[in-house]
Amino acid sequence: MKSFLNVLIDVASTPAILVALIAVLGLVLQKKSTSDIFRGGIKTFVGFLVVTAGAGVVQASLEPFGEMFKVAFNMQGVVPNNEAIVAIALTKFGTSTALIMLIGMIFNVLIARFTRFKYIYLTGHATLYMSCMIAVILSVTGFTTAPLILLGGLALGIVNTLSPAILQPFMKKITGNDTVALGHTGGVGYALSGLVGKLFGTKSKSTEDINFPKGLAFLRDSTVSITITMGIIYIIVALFTGSSYITENLSGGTNYLIYALQQAGTFAAGVFVILSGVRLILAEIVPAFKGISEKLVPNAKPALDCPIIFPYAPNAVLIGFFSSFAGGIVSMMIMIFSGGVIIIPGVVPHFFCGATAGVFGNSTGGLKGAIFGSFIQGILISFLPVLLMPVLGNLGFADSTFSDADYGIAGIFLGGLSSIGGKIAVIIGIMLVLAVMFVLTYMKKNKNTEVIK
């Protein structure tokens, strides 16, 4: 039984397999031919592997940049990194995390089926990380065994349904349709970026309409512009870090400036791979999901990982990254002068969350929306981890913590309820959120009925 459970967890936490199976199910429900089913499943599987490979390349190129930044400016503190904190937590909360994840996915489907929030969350690794955080907080609160698993699964199902829901109005503007949703743990930050963008209206030109002089027209190619921009940034940080540290600890003896340029090129290559994989996925998963929408969860939308929106505004991706990272640096300075916990800007979360926030801000406020929306998002994911750390028990004193906005909001909500009224308050709070979702569904049905009459 335990080995079977482990296989299910491996499938659920591997996006390529999970989404490929979902695509196959959708095609089967549409009674497609065997060849169409195989083609759709395999291309979706490969598409997610391409995106995962690209994300891995980007992350691998950003890790030495983060190390160089800390050394260059002599910074010490807590670095938000989801993979690091989850690796620590799973040693103690592995079983409860796995069970919460499975129950949470079931609740997600049930909530989508019976409420107006028709979103199926398909980002497996994000679901695993959120499950882990919920397991930690509920365990600290005092929940054990069945109550821990059921309540944690319900909380996860609610979070994974609501997060895509609050983002969908912005997703319609970004994609130009209502067929796909965003399933990522930075949801609150992206919505905030979109709202900040609205302050600038539509008067600010889009990041994709930036006019380059004729002699610099080559910069309109996103691969070229990303390589040049990141090359400049890497070289500046490398100069501050110094040749000796880089050659001895990072580059394996390669000249430190050559190494910096190589990492910049690697970063651009990773982004190029991500964009290619996203196009392949969207071409397969959206049509395949039609079968699930028609048979299992009417009008359901697949909520996919944040890179799916990168092709819609490649310039905003880079602008959002830099603006978010700038927000992280400003936040760090405030923390230094205030004498509290210092959150070192995590380059990886600031890239993925900042880039996504940039696209959201651009969709509502153009270039200014991308800059200021992602900057505010960068501040948000710098201060939320500080507020989250106390509710994580002993895990809150580790050298790393959860980074993205949804972890902070969900974790602070659950931890705050616990501090107010213990287990009873947590149960009541979760049930109230679920009740509100059903009330909103009922109100929408009545409104639709009145319109028909």
Neighbouring CB atoms inside 10 A of 315's CB total: 22
What percent of the chain has a predicted confidence (pLDDT) above 70? 89
Tens of pLDDT, residue by residue over 321-348, are 999 999 999 998 898 888 777 888 888 8
Q: Which pLDDT does position 384 carry in this prediction?
A: 93
pLDDT at 355 over 60: yes
Q: What is the mean pLDDT of the chain?
A: 85
Q: Which pLDDT does position 57 carry in this prediction?
A: 85
Tens of pLDDT, residue by residue over 223-273, are 777 788 788 888 988 998 888 899 988 888 888 899 989 988 888 888 888
Q: Which pLDDT does position 330 carry in this prediction?
A: 94
Q: Which pLDDT does position 436 carry in this prediction?
A: 95
Mean pLDDT value of segment 390-412: 82
Q: How many domains does the chain have?
A: 1
Mean pLDDT value of segment 26-45: 85
pLDDT at 81 over 80: no
pLDDT at 299 over 70: yes
Tens of pLDDT, residue by residue over 167-197, are 999 999 999 999 899 999 999 999 999 999 9
What percent of the chain has a predicted confidence (pLDDT) above 90? 36
pLDDT at 450 over 60: no
Q: Which pLDDT does position 202 carry in this prediction?
A: 66
Residues 332 and 75: their CA atoms lie apart, in Å, by 10
pLDDT at 18 over 80: no
pLDDT at 1 over 60: no
Tens of pLDDT, residue by residue over 439-449, are 999 887 766 65
CA-based nearest residue to 163, from 184, 141, 180? 184
pLDDT at 213 over 80: no
Residue 132, CB half-sphere, CA atoms under 13 Å: how many?
A: 25
Neighbouring CB atoms inside 10 A of 419's CB total: 12
CA 185 to each of CA 8, 30, 115, 321, 326: distance values in angstroms, whole numbers, following the listed order: 22, 31, 21, 16, 21
Mean pLDDT value of segment 2-25: 71
pTM of the prediction? 0.84
Q: For residue 130, name the pLDDT band (cuts at 50, 70, 90).
A: very high
pLDDT at 357 over 90: yes
Tens of pLDDT, residue by residue over 85-109, are 887 787 788 888 888 988 898 899 9
pLDDT at 218 over 60: no
Q: Which domain holds residue 394?
A: 1-451
